[in-house]
């Protein structure tokens, strides 16, 4: 499962959440970013693939790297980082299908 921004902005392919770096050599210590969506391999890249079952439970787990998305701090606008999966409140997120945007 990958996550894409609702609005395409300036990129027809849209923007997806991605680990900095490339495939197996992704830089886990550098966190996440919005990056052009692409699947040149015909499937979602391992550095963009989240576990769908975990997302339903509020965890954004990336199986290939065995890490979870985590807020760096519990403040609005904080950086998203990758950490070992725990029960830390900073790793609990709510996913909604709200398609409204301004």
- Domain range annotation of the chain: 15-91
pLDDT at 49: 86
Which residues are CB-neighbours of 64 under 8 A, at least 6 positions away?
A: 46, 47, 49
pLDDT score recorded for residue 35: 79
Q: What is the pLDDT of residue 101?
A: 46
Contact yes or no for 92/54 (Cβ under 8 A): no
Quickly count: other Cβ atoms within 10 Å of residue 28's Cβ.
17
Q: Under a CB-based contact definition with an 8 Å cutoff, are residues 17 and 3 in contact?
A: yes
Q: Do the Cβ atoms of 59 and 91 come closer than 8 Å?
A: yes
Per-residue pLDDT of the chain (102 residues; tens, 9 = 90+): 777 777 788 888 888 888 877 777 788 888 888 878 876 666 777 888 889 999 888 899 999 999 999 999 999 889 889 999 999 999 998 866 665 544
């Amino acid at each position: 499962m990958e996550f894409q921004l609702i609005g395409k902005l300036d990129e027809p392919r849209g923007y997806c959440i991605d680990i900095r770096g490339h495939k197996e050599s992704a830089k886990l210590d550098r966190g996440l970013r919005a990056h052009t969506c692409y699947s040149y391999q015909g499937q979602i890249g391992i550095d963009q693939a989240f576990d769908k079952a975990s997302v339903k439970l509020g965890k954004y787990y990336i199986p290939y790297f065995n890490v979870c998305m985590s807020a760096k701090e519990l403040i609005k606008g904080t950086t998203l980082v990758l950490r070992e999966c725990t029960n830390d409140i900073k790793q609990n997120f709510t996913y909604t299908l709200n398609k409204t945007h301004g």
